[in-house]
Amino acid sequence: MVRLPDLSSGRFLNPVNIAAAAVLACGALVTNAATLADYRFTGGTAASIDSHAGTDAGDFQAVSGANEGSAASDIGFGATSNTAFVRGDAVAQPNTASGALNDDDFLSFTISATNAGDAMVLDELIFEGFYLSDNALGDLTSVTVYLQSSVGGFGDGSPVLDSFALTESGGIGDGGPTYSVDLSAFPSLATAEFRFYFAAVGSSGNKVGDTVRLDNVQLTGDIIPEPASLALMGLGGLTVLFRSRRA
């Protein structure tokens, strides 16, 4: 709880004390995490269904390369499954971080503060992940998702935010576990990109019948207004408080 000094005495109202109190008051404005982006992929849509008024959440991206001989149709968004998917042909092998991060097939999204000078304070990245295995066409035995961000850079040699061994699901309707990544140590940012890379082990190299699925991807945090606006809000709050004490 932020405690402001007693304003009943005019002795408090000198420039140094006012500035310090403004900082304290403004700090209380950015302590509650809100939803900054929320991707549900309903009907195959790549757009965020909800976002903070102070952010622009870009559409989810399905980037297809040619490292594994995959086609553009091997990664995308399912209109029936309501998930983002990566077919086995677009999943790196073997199941190693280096294999995944050198791959050119990945899912990603970018989010930015709407107003120039504002910054995002990120809290947590949450998503649901699982895989489906078609025994007749390859049978995945394990899948790992590796997450990177624009803060640390992308590709092999850049830091991994976190990695998770996904579980096999009995069907799309069954879904999978929810995973989370703590982003509270991130610096305040004007924009950020997150990428999901995938690697797997299977009984064959060509697993078009197997799919990795993501759903319910959410990013939480808050917005810090640009410094001039933040100071005005803090001083405005102090003015109201001072008047109420004098009344």
* Structure confidence by residue, pLDDT tens digits, 162-174: 999 999 888 888 8
Residues 122, 80: contact at Cβ < 8 Å?
no
Q: Which position has the higher pLDDT, 30 or 153? A: 153
CA torsion angle 79 80 86 88 (round to 10): -140
How much is the pLDDT for 185? 96
Q: What mean pLDDT, rounded, does the chain reach?
A: 81
How much is the pLDDT for 232? 46
Arithmetic mean of pLDDT, 176-205 = 90
Arithmetic mean of pLDDT, 201-219 = 75
Task: Give per-residue burial for 131-162: e unless 16+ CB within 10 Å, then b.
Answer: bbbeeebbbbeebbbbbbbebeebeeeeeebe
Banded pLDDT at 27 (limits 50, 70, 90): very low
* Structure confidence by residue, pLDDT tens digits, 61-113: 999 876 655 677 889 999 999 999 998 878 888 788 998 999 889 999 999 99
Kindly tell me the number of DSSP H helices and DSSP E strands found in the chain. 3, 13
Tell me the three state secondary structure of residue 117: coil
Banded pLDDT at 19 (limits 50, 70, 90): very low
Arithmetic mean of pLDDT, 192-209 = 75
Report all structural domains of the chain as residue ranges with CATH numbers, in order of start.
34-225 (2.60.120.260)
DSSP annotation of 187 reads P
- Per-residue pLDDT at 15 exceeds 60: no
How much is the pLDDT for 68? 57
Largest CA distance in the chain: 81
Distance between CA atoms of residues 126 and 145, nearest Å: 13
